[in-house]
Amino acid sequence: MRRILVLILVVFSFHGLSRAEGNDTVAIRQFAEYGDATAIENVRPVKNIVIMIGDGMGFEAITAARIHSFGRGVGLALDRMPVTGQNLSYSLSEDIITDSAASGTALACGVKTLNGRIAQDRHAARLKTILELAGELGKSTGLVATSKVNHATPASFASHVKSRNNYWEIARQMSRAPLDVLLGGGYGYFLPGSHPESFRDDELDLLGEMRSRGASVTMDPGQLGNLDPDRVKALVGLFARDDLDRTARSAVNLSEMTGTALKILSRNPRGFFMMVEGSQIDWAGHGHDLEYSVGETLEFDRAVGVVLSFAEKHGETLVIVTADHETGGLSLNKASEKDKTLTAGWTTGSHTANVVPVFAYGPNAEAFGAVIHNHHIPQLAVQGWGVKNFTGFAYGK
């Protein structure tokens, strides 16, 4: 009987592949490197775009945070977003389960790539990022993360390297990118090698270079709340030598960094682009730590609330919230509303192929209420900027 079942499964699998091969449109849409998102009908103009990424945040992590806080109720900032879709995050690697670099590149550049690549295609050709596009359009730009800023996801928006592990080159490129705000951890990668806290093996003083170009540079989280945004031309705040550990997080949090970034970026009458990453939801998944996951998801959700409040007040702002992938294979197996306890199961210590959420608010938000590939997200977003060939390919194919 077991042999018969296996044979049936194999025949079914190959039958499915043959059907895909017989339909070029399906095959192209499933595996295309370059975008084929269709044009938005009656596209409305967008001034600002904010992409918020919960690293490793699947539907289950959001559900756990919601039950923890509200039991059977709703009340997350995410619950205020009127449009919900699904994000297919597959990479072009033989193992299609993506890492943060390939997915970050798709979300930044509108092009799928191999795992490990940062804003490069599968042939290691440089790709334009949505942040660079914003700079070309005269808009302000910002990156905010709770990891080191040269980690895979934020790196994908402001650098171009073949390997995500080349943190030193990523930092060098980021220091020279068209960035008006850069907030997170990782100052050890920006200090010259002779500095006792540096990770570099050269004498490049990247913080000094940014300061010489007019940026206010700080490694003191206490200074963040005391800044006068109207007197800051550009802001670089790196509040930990490496990632923002719990000590650093007690002094500065994601919603505070996000709010400060918004104050600076929104001064530009042409608008802005900002990416905000809740980086450590992923780490909680890798470690099978439900309490950590809930805490990080709620911190990310508070940052979502800050951005939504801005968008509701100012308009012309498209807010997109998604994840680069799901981590851990989280399942919620038991939940008590009375004492708000949760029992979780995990299927892996790595990433999964689970579909992840997309939430949207603002002009053209309805375009994201579908099952879409991750590389479609920036393609759809920039149509509100009047850009119809972001990846060099026409829409509506």
Residue 67: what residue type? I
Name the 3-class secondary structure at 57: coil
Residue 362 to residue 36: CA distance in whole angstroms: 23
Each residue's pLDDT tens digit, 363-382: 999 999 999 999 999 999 99
Provide mean pLDDT across the span 41-56.
97
User: What is the model's pLDDT at position 378?
Assistant: 96
Residues in the chain: 397
Residue 8 to residue 14: CA distance in whole angstroms: 10
Distances (CA, A) of 225 to 220, 243, 258, 279: 10, 20, 12, 22
- Domains of the chain from N-terminus onward: 40-359 (3.40.720.10)
Catalytic residue among 89, 100, 147, 198: 100
Provide mean pLDDT across the span 228-248.
91
Each residue's pLDDT tens digit, 260-285: 999 999 999 999 999 999 999 999 99
Query: pTM of this prediction?
Result: 0.91
Provide mean pLDDT across the span 138-155.
98
> Is the pLDDT reported for residue 132 higher than 90?
yes
> Is the pLDDT reported for residue 157 higher than 80?
yes
Query: Percentage of the chain surpassing pLDDT 90?
Result: 79
User: What is the model's pLDDT at position 226?
Assistant: 85
> Is the pLDDT reported for residue 133 higher than 90?
yes
User: What is the model's pLDDT at position 245?
Assistant: 84
Angle made by CA atoms 28, 85, 260, in degrees to the nearest 5: 115
Alpha helices in 165-230 (DSSP H): 167-175, 206-212
> Is the pLDDT reported for residue 23 higher than 80?
no
Provide mean pLDDT across the span 287-309.
97
pLDDT tier, 35 (very low <50, low <70, confident <90, very high otherwise): low
Each residue's pLDDT tens digit, 100-129: 999 999 999 999 999 999 999 999 999 999
Each residue's pLDDT tens digit, 172-190: 999 999 999 999 999 999 9
Residue 144 to residue 340: CA distance in whole angstroms: 31
Phi, psi of 135 (to 5 degrees): -60, -40
Residue 93 to residue 103: CA distance in whole angstroms: 11
Q: Is 212 a catalytic residue?
A: no
By CB neighbour count within 10 A (0-12 exposed, 13-18 middle, 19+ buried), where does 269 fall? exposed
- Average pLDDT of the residues of the chain: 90
> Is the pLDDT reported for residue 393 higher than 70?
no
User: What is the model's pLDDT at position 222?
Assistant: 86
> Is the pLDDT reported for residue 11 higher than 50?
no
Name the 3-class secondary structure at 319: strand
